[in-house]
Amino acid sequence: MFLAALIIAPKLQVEPKLNQIIALSKSDNQVMNHLRELCYGIGPRVTGSPQLTKAENWALAKFKSFGYANAHLEKWADIPVGFSRGPNNSARMLEPFQSEVKFSSNCWMPGTNGPLKGHVVFAPNTLAEFNKVKSKLNGAWVLAGAPVTMRGAQSTSEDAAVRKAIEAAGINGFVYGAKDDHLHAHGTWKDKDFTKRPTTRELTIRREDWDRLARNVNFGRKTVAEFSMDHIWHKGPVAVHNVVAELKGTEKPDEVIVIGGHLDSWDAPGSQGASDNGTGSSSTLEAARLLMKSGLKPKRTIRFILWGGEEQGLLGSTEYVRQHESELSKVSACVVDDGGSNYENGCSGIAAWQPFFQPAFDAMTAAFPDMPMTFRPVEKYNASGGSDQASFNAKGIPAFFMGKAGTQKYGHIWHTQYDRYEEVVPTYLRQVSTSMAVTAFTLASADTMLPRQK
């Protein structure tokens, strides 16, 4: 524990320079343009998909266009098989009347190879029930009642034998009902390759759509649904990369401030990966552009990183710290933005770190008084979980997930079909990109690196 009385504030004579960054941002902020290109020019970016590869090269070209001649891709893995969604994803009830259905499905699951029509039946819950309805299951879409989380349907081990029998009966697939109208995507390539794939289709539809299908089946009406799941498997290995660029320090270039966010996303049909985490990626890019355009020279190197594989378990950042193990003692701090499009309202940490952040937060609060930033001291700091800062915190590096406040309801967009450009708040995102530039320059201008937490 550090005693507040013993804290020696670093000498940060940077206020005019911070105001220079802020003024530049207020007159010429391009963050929404970056985000628009990412969302509409590329779209959602599942790790291992062609869209993520395209995004890596797009971000690399962006950094270079800002003047970062040292921008490059750092490979962190080859994954065994890639996955993406094609353009033909649709669903509807055809009988007893036509009605649109909204759905999602996990990645690395079998698709339908075009529209697949079938009658709708309820899933039997016991083998005795199965034997009664066995003749109705071939070619059917099976309404299943297992609970659904953002990771998909959560089947229990008790119904394994019944499920196996249902699958063997020749069904089209299982149809689960979400809790509400939010449809999530998830999935993993674990235990899969281009030839070793799951064979049973699973999808989740909105609660109101599931209830409509169930109601018509319960009424004894002939109920028919059609689903088109355009799932594309890409033969591996698929190389995946982190995107890295540096603004070299003038006095202590071997000491580093890391600023970034993750470039990958999920891809529920309709999603663009906008707020998770196109916002953090675009803000990182804009912070890099502002700092380069300002002409300011930090004492330490500022390293901008866009990671991949975050959604599968912080894979890109975990491999980054492994590959850069010998340099970690010179990493002063890592700051990550991955909280959607609300504005940054500061961060927490041990009291010894507050003087390093306070000049940045004071300058930002003065410039954006409706979006105040504060440092929240805690006795013991824990930055585990959540996002890529945890990979650095695990190595003892002061690593920060910037807090957020504002009007966006993050749960509405988090891994859902609503994660789109139009859900982003432009005023907030301009503040975020400015904050990232100002905070990075402030930390890079301190007399010392941030002290390690005991």
Q: Are residues 94 and 170 in the same domain?
A: yes
Q: What is the CATH number of the domain that holds 425?
A: 3.40.630.10
Tens-digit pLDDT profile for residues 119-151: 999 999 999 999 999 999 999 999 999 889 998
Greatest alpha-carbon pair distance for the chain in Å reads 80
- Report the 10 Å Cβ neighbour count for 64: 14
101: domain range? 88-229
Q: Quick check: helix, strand or coil at residue 438?
A: helix
- With CA atoms as reference, report the closest residue to 368 among 360, 356, 357, 378: 360
Between CA 394 and CA 222 the distance in angstroms is 57
Q: Are 177 and 148 in contact (CB under 8 A)?
A: yes
Q: Which residue has the tokens 């999920």?
A: 266
Residues contacting residue 105 through CB under 8 Å, at least 6 positions apart: 185, 201, 202, 203, 204, 229, 231
CB 272 within 8 A of CB 13: no
Q: Is 440 helix (H, G, I), strand (E, B) or coil?
A: helix
Residue 317 DSSP one-character state: H
pLDDT digits (tens, 9 = 90+) for 189-239: 999 999 999 999 999 999 999 999 999 999 999 999 999 999 999 999 999
Q: Measure Cα distances from 264 to 152, 389, 452 in Å.
A: 19, 15, 30
Whether the per-residue pLDDT at 442 is higher than 80: the answer is yes
* Number of structural domains in the chain: 2
First vs last Cα of the chain: how many Å apart?
7
Strand partners, 117: 226
Strand locations in 350-431, DSSP E? 374-377, 399-401, 403-405
Give the number of other Cβ atoms within 10 Å of residue 136's Cβ.
15
Q: How far is CA 113 from CA 24, 86, 117, in A?
A: 51, 11, 12
Specify whether 252 is located in the same domain as 398: yes
The answer to whether residues 134 and 259 belong to one domain is no
* Domain's final residue, options 229, 250, 271: 229
352 and 327 in a single domain? The answer is: yes
Residues 191, 62, single domain; the answer is: no
Q: What does the alpha-carbon distance between residue 441 and residue 426 come to, in Å, rounded to a whole number?
A: 23
Q: Does residue 450 lie within any of the structural domains?
A: no
Residue 401 pLDDT greater than 80, yes or no: yes
Of the candidates 311, 343, 318, 316, the one whose C-alpha atom is nearest the C-alpha of residue 408 is 343
**What's the confidence (pLDDT) of residue 12?**
46
Q: Which of 181, 210, 229 is the last residue of a domain?
A: 229
User: How far, rounded to the nearest angstrom, does the alpha carbon of residue 199 sit from its chain's CA centroid?
Assistant: 28
Same domain? For 299 and 434 the reply is yes
Determine the 3-state secondary structure of 339 from DSSP.
coil
Q: Please, which residues have CB within 8 angstroms of residue 150's CB and are 6 or more apart in sequence?
A: 184, 186, 414, 415
pLDDT tens per residue across span 23-35: 999 999 999 999 9
> How high is the pLDDT of residue 119?
98
pTM assigned to the model: 0.94
Question: Does 291 share its domain with 242?
Answer: yes
Tokens of 196: 């070793």
DSSP letter for 302, please: E
Share of the chain above pLDDT 90, in %: 92
CATH of the domain at 219: 3.50.30.30
One domain, residues 243 and 172: no
pLDDT at 10 over 50: no
φ, ψ (nearest 5 deg) of residue 293: -65, -30
Mean pLDDT (whole number) for 27-53? 98
pLDDT band at 2 (very low <50, low <70, confident <90, very high): very low
pLDDT tens sequence across 269-317 = 999 999 999 999 999 999 999 999 999 999 999 999 999 999 999 999 9
| Residue 155, Cβ density class (10 Å: 0-12 exposed, 13-18 middle, ≥19 buried) | middle
Residue 436 to residue 443: CA distance in whole angstroms: 11
pLDDT score of 449 more than 90: yes
Q: How far apart are alpha carbons 376 and 174 in whole angstroms?
A: 48
What 3-state class would DSSP assign to 158?
A: helix
Whether residues 156 and 211 fall in one domain: yes
**Residue 93 sits in the same domain as residue 71:** no
pLDDT at 8 over 90: no
**Which is it for strands 116-122 and 141-143: parallel, antiparallel or unpaired?**
parallel
The reply to whether 291 falls in a domain is yes
Between the alpha carbon of residue 144 and those of residues 37, 43, 75, 124, 126, the distances in Å are 39, 31, 41, 8, 13
Choosing from 229, 262, 283, the residue where a domain stops is 229
Asked if 348 and 436 sit in the same domain, the reply is yes
